[in-house]
């Protein structure tokens, strides 16, 4: 089991640790519900250094990124980021990812550079996939082990971090980034992104400086009651927003069109892997869709792989993610259902052992932060 550069910090803070994607990661410190509300209402810090980072650099860097991702990277200006995914040849999803258009001061003349951020559980698979399709004048560099990542999330994130940098954090637009000094550490990539729906920033830093940055962030954030947050609350926060989790809601056998990710699947940008499949699905429709659902008044939580049924008890799909929403105080979930059952306000039933839980289909996000 691997450690991040911050593992000893988590252990010293008394975190409940567990294996996640091959890493020894903090699941919670004081409790998932309390940590969830901390991020929704104040500010919290996640160690997500287990994520993978690939640099794509060369004269045909854009062509490679366009070929292996579904979104249109040609729309990215330097300093922009976008959510995207790697499609496979069968129309499934190798992984979801972030693509960053990097400054060209790190490039030779005529070159461009991107950073692709991938899920920890898929680093090796994604690295092999990207290299397999790299028949361009472009280099791939895996900087995952040399890079640490702190996600400072919540409505007070900008105020808590501002004393550490000259970068005007309050003026940064969502899904943009810049490089600058943070806590005296040069070349920190400051990204106005995150997977919580609570606002905030992600800080990419050299792994050797991760501990220094962690300590500085907590010192600066004392006035805002900044707290460390584990992966348990990261999961409940993302699910309240209806964000997909790879391995649960999307995988090699799910299409981005089925998963409601048509908005990152730009079939008109030119040729890319499985483009024709997605164009056909968009035109003809799909037989199943990822639907969100709520269970007001229920206390039992819909779990991954629970069957979903219609009123007559006929199977129509399966739950992919479910939790007791800390913000709403009732269960929420997502699952693939036959398309005719995916419309909002449709009644479906979750088979939880011998009990059938009545649920209503809704369009995420389940919770809209104030």
Angle of helix 231-240 relative to helix 32-41, nearest 10 degrees? 60
Dihedral sign (CA 214, 217, 222, 227): negative
Distance, CA of 233 to CA of 239 (rounded, Å): 10
Q: What is the pLDDT of residue 150?
A: 98
**Closest by alpha carbon to 127, among 137, 136, 117?**
117
Residues of the chain with CATH 2.40.30.110: 287-365
Reported as a single tens digit per residue, the pLDDT across 86-115 is 999 999 999 999 999 999 877 788 899 999
pLDDT at 290: 98
pLDDT at position 42 is 98
d(CA 335, CA 258): 11
Position 52 scores a pLDDT of: 98
Query: Residue 276: enclosing H or E segment and its boundaries?
Result: helix 275-284
Q: State residue 369's pLDDT score.
A: 81
Alpha carbons 317 and 341: distance in angstroms, whole number = 10
Question: Which residue stretches of the chain have pLDDT < 70?
Answer: none
Residue 151 to residue 218: CA distance in whole angstroms: 12
CB atoms near residue 335 (< 10 Å): 30
CA dihedral 235, 236, 242, 244 (to 10 degrees): 10
Q: What is the model's pLDDT at position 106?
A: 72
Topology of the domain covering 287-365: Elongation Factor Tu (Ef-tu); domain 3 (2.40.30)
Report the topology of domain 7-50+146-239.
Gyrase A; domain 2 (3.30.1360)
Inter-residue long-range contacts of 14-18, CB under 8 Å, 24+ positions, other chains counted: 15/228, 15/230, 16/230
* pLDDT value, residue 235: 98
What stretch(es) of the chain map to CATH 3.30.1360.120? 7-50+146-239
In DSSP terms, 338 is beta-bridged to: 288
């Amino acid at each position: 089991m691997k450690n991040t550069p911050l593992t000893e910090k988590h252990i010293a803070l008394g975190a409940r640790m567990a294996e996640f994607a091959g890493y020894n990661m903090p699941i919670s410190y004081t409790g998932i519900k309390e940590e969830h509300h901390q991020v929704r209402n104040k500010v919290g810090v996640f160690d997500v250094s287990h994520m993978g980072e690939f640099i794509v650099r060369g004269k045909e860097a854009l062509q490679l990124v366009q070929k292996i991702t579904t979104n249109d990277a040609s729309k990215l200006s330097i300093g922009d980021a976008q959510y995207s995914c790697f499609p496979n040849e069968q129309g499934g999803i190798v992984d979801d990812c972030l693509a960053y258009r990097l400054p060209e001061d790190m490039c030779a003349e005529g070159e461009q550079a991107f950073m692709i951020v991938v899920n920890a559980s898929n680093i090796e698979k994604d690295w092999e996939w990207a290299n397999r399709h790299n028949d361009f004048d472009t280099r791939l560099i895996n900087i995952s082990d040399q890079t640490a990542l702190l996600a400072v999330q919540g409505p007070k994130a900008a105020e808590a971090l501002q004393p550490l940098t000259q970068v005007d954090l309050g003026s940064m637009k969502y899904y943009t980034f810049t490089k600058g000094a943070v806590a005296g550490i040069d070349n920190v990539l400051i990204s106005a992104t995150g997977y919580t729906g609570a606002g905030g920033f992600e800080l990419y830093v050299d792994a050797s400086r991760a501990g220094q940055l962690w300590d500085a962030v907590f010192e600066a954030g004392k006035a805002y009651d900044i707290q460390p947050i584990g992966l348990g609350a990261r999961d409940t926060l993302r699910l309240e927003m209806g964000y997909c989790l790879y391995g649960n809601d999307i995988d090699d056998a799910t299409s981005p069109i089925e998963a409601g990710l048509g908005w990152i699947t730009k079939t008109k940008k030119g040729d890319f892997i499985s483009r024709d499949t997605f164009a056909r699905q968009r035109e003809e429709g799909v037989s199943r869709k990822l639907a969100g659902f709520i269970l007001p008044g229920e206390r039992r939580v819909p779990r991954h792989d629970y069957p979903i049924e219609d009123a007559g008890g006929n199977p129509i799909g399966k739950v992919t993610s479910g939790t007791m929403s800390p913000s709403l105080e009732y269960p929420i979930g997502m699952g693939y259902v036959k398309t005719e059952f995916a419309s909002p306000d449709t009644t479906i039933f979750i088979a939880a052992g011998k009990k059938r839980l009545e649920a209503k289909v809704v369009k995420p996000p389940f919770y809209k932060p104030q």
